């Protein structure tokens, strides 16, 4: 049974990926520092699959701990989610982001290679494209200067893994996520609401649940049909399955170069107002909102051209926006 390390495996996307890995018969070892999640997610994963993943609470900034981990465990591949991901926080605390997202990446790669672990899946983001000149966005679209230190760490991370793959035995795949939303159908795992939500869907859901007074829609003066900004919202379970497809590509040596990049989205753009309407339709819940000024740093539109991932990974998003939104609502109901 292949052993896969999932760093950040108790996080939102990490936990959904652990479930899919176990469903596919992989043995999973999770490293998480619990800085942005809770240990009970481990039991919730176990309650879904019936298999308890091995768990090590490690801060990846602890080089010695990373070194010992790879000496102790015989790993076949690594899926690396562990990173800080709040755009606004990264502007206020850039050094925290560069240390936690970049230094740790180098420690993981170093110890992987010291122990001949060469299969690496990197959690990247469509944020590397900024406002793309052409839509839908293909993988060869030029990347743009980052709007935030968080975005910069994704771009730097890609450069680090590409350079390392050229100089060593590392085989890497960077998955550029569009906007992950939704929750597992069991409603046992989902996006943990820690603090005031920065992202749209958690805020919509908490407004519908009466936890938040009113959703602020950041701008209706964008050059789009209804004036609100457009994103490519992908169900987190579809996103998790893309990681399995990418991992199998490396394990079966089907990768065509030592570092590959894939856009992971649905290929469809939805505006903020379309999301609100779809949520109300899918759940029957009303969302109280007001239009306010644009949020600094936001782009008008981003949605993926998924041709490459469809073809090379033999992967395609299967779950639609309404299904994702109703799963988010079901998850919220399970929390209250
Ligand atoms: C989506 C749309 C907002 C909140 C960010 C990161 C990206 C990834 C996903 C981590 C935008 C609007 C939002 C609200 C609103 N993060 N909005 N009111 O900004 O596309 O992407 O999260 O991996 O890297 O950049 O996602 O959900 O914050 O915003 O009107 O209260 O919803 O303006 O148009 P975003 P988002």
Question: How far apart are the CA of 230 and the centre of ligand 1, in A?
Answer: 10
Relative to the CA of 150, which ligand 1 atom is closest?
24
**What does the radius of gyration of the chain's CA atoms come to, in whole angstroms?**
19
What are the pLDDT digits (tens) for 199-245? Answer: 999 999 999 999 999 999 999 999 999 999 999 999 999 999 999 99
- Residue 1 is predicted with a pLDDT of 95
Helix 149-167 × helix 104-114 angle, to 10°: 20
Count of beta carbons in the 10 Å neighbourhood of residue 238? 23
218 lines ligand 1 (CB under 6 A): yes
Task: Please give the mean pLDDT across all residues of the chain.
Answer: 97
150 is catalytic: yes
- Residue 203 is predicted with a pLDDT of 98
150, 177, 222, 233: the active-site residue: 150
Residues in Cβ contact with 291 at an 8 Å cutoff, skipping those fewer than 6 apart: 216, 217, 219, 220
Of all helices (H) and strands (E), which one includes residue 125? Answer: strand 119-125
- Distance between CA 141 and CA 250 in Å, rounded? 24
3-state secondary structure of 306: coil
Average pLDDT over residues 101-107: 98
Helix 236-251 × helix 12-23 angle, to 10°: 60
- Distance between CA 96 and CA 33 in Å, rounded? 15
Question: How far apart are the CA of 237 and the centre of ligand 1, in A?
Answer: 19
pLDDT at 193 over 90: no
Token code pair at residue 263: 């856009």
Q: Which residues pair with 120 in a beta bridge?
A: 78, 172
- Residue 336 is predicted with a pLDDT of 85
Report the range of poorest mean pLDDT among 89-98, 155-164, 190-199: 190-199
Question: How far apart are the CA of 115 and the centre of ligand 1, in A?
Answer: 38
SS3 percent helix, strand, coil of the chain, rounded to 5, is 40, 20, 40
CB 326 within 8 A of CB 278: no
Pocket test for ligand 1, best of 218, 232, 271, 300 (most atoms within 8 A of CB): 218
CB 53 within 8 A of CB 42: yes
DSSP state of 310: H
Relative to the CA of 148, which ligand 1 atom is closest?
25
Pocket test for ligand 1, best of 223, 278, 295, 304 (most atoms within 8 A of CB): 295
Token code pair at residue 281: 């339709």
H-state helical runs in 170-255 = 200-208, 236-251
Question: How far apart are the CA of 94 and the centre of ligand 1, in A?
Answer: 19
DSSP state of 53: P
Sequence length of the chain is: 336
Pocket test for ligand 1, best of 211, 272, 297 (most atoms within 8 A of CB): 272
Question: How far apart are the CA of 127 and the centre of ligand 1, in A?
Answer: 10
pLDDT at 246 over 90: yes
Residue 300: closest CA among 49, 68, 132:
132
Average pLDDT over residues 51-62: 98
Per-domain residue ranges of the chain: 3-182+234-266
Question: How far apart are the CA of 239 and the centre of ligand 1, in A?
Answer: 17
- In CATH terms, the fold of domain 3-182+234-266 is Rossmann fold (3.40.50)
ipTM, 2 dp: 0.97
7 lines ligand 1 (CB under 6 A): no
Residues in Cβ contact with 70 at an 8 Å cutoff, skipping those fewer than 6 apart: 111, 112, 114, 115, 117
- Distance between CA 77 and CA 181 in Å, rounded? 26
CB 221 within 8 A of CB 227: yes
Confidence bin at 285 (pLDDT 50/70/90): very high
Q: Which residues pair with 6 in a beta bridge?
A: 30, 79
CB 227 within 8 A of CB 220: yes
DSSP string, 256-292: SSSEEEEEES-S--EEHHHHHHHHHHHH-----EEEE
Relative to the CA of 204, which ligand 1 atom is closest?
31
């Amino acid at each position: 049974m292949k052993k896969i390390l999932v760093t950040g495996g108790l996080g939102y996307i990490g936990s959904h990926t652990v479930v899919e890995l176990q469903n596919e018969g992989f043995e999973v070892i999770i490293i998480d520092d619990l800085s942005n999640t809770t240990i009970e997610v481990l039991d919730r994963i176990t309650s879904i699959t019936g298999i308890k993943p091995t768990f090590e609470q490690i801060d990846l900034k602890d080089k010695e701990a990373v070194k010992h981990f790879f000496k102790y465990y015989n790993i076949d591949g690594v899926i690396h989610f562990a990173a800080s991901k709040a755009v606004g926080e990264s502007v206020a605390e850039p050094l925290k982001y560069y240390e936690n997202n970049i230094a740790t990446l180098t420690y993981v790669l170093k110890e992987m290679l010291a122990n001949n672990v060469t299969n690496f899946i990197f959690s990247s983001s469509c944020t590397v494209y900024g406002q793309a000149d052409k839509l839908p966005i293909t993988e060869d679209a030029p990347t743009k200067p980052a709007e935030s230190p968080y975005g910069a760490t994704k771009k730097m991370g890609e450069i680090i893994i590409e350079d390392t793959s050229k100089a060593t035995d590392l085989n890497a795949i960077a998955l550029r996520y569009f906007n992950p939303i939704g929750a597992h159908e069991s409603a046992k795992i989902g996006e943990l609401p820690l603090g005031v939500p920065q992202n749209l869907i958690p805020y919509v859901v908490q407004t519908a649940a009466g936890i938040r007074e009113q959703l602020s829609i950041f701008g209706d003066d964008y050059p789009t049909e209804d004036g609100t900004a457009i994103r490519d919202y992908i169900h987190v379970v579809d996103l998790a399955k893309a990681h399995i497809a990418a991992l199998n590509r490396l394990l079966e040596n089907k990768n065509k170069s030592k570092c590959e990049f894939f856009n992971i989205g649905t290929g469809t753009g939805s505006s903020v107002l379309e999301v609100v309407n779809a949520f109300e339709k899918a759940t029957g819940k009303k969302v109280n909102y007001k239009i306010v000024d644009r949020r600094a740093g936001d782009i008008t539109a981003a949605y993926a051209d998924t041709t490459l991932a469809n073809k090379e990974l033999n992967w395609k998003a299967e779950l639609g926006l309404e299904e994702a939104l109703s799963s988010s609502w079901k998850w919220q109901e399970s929390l209250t």
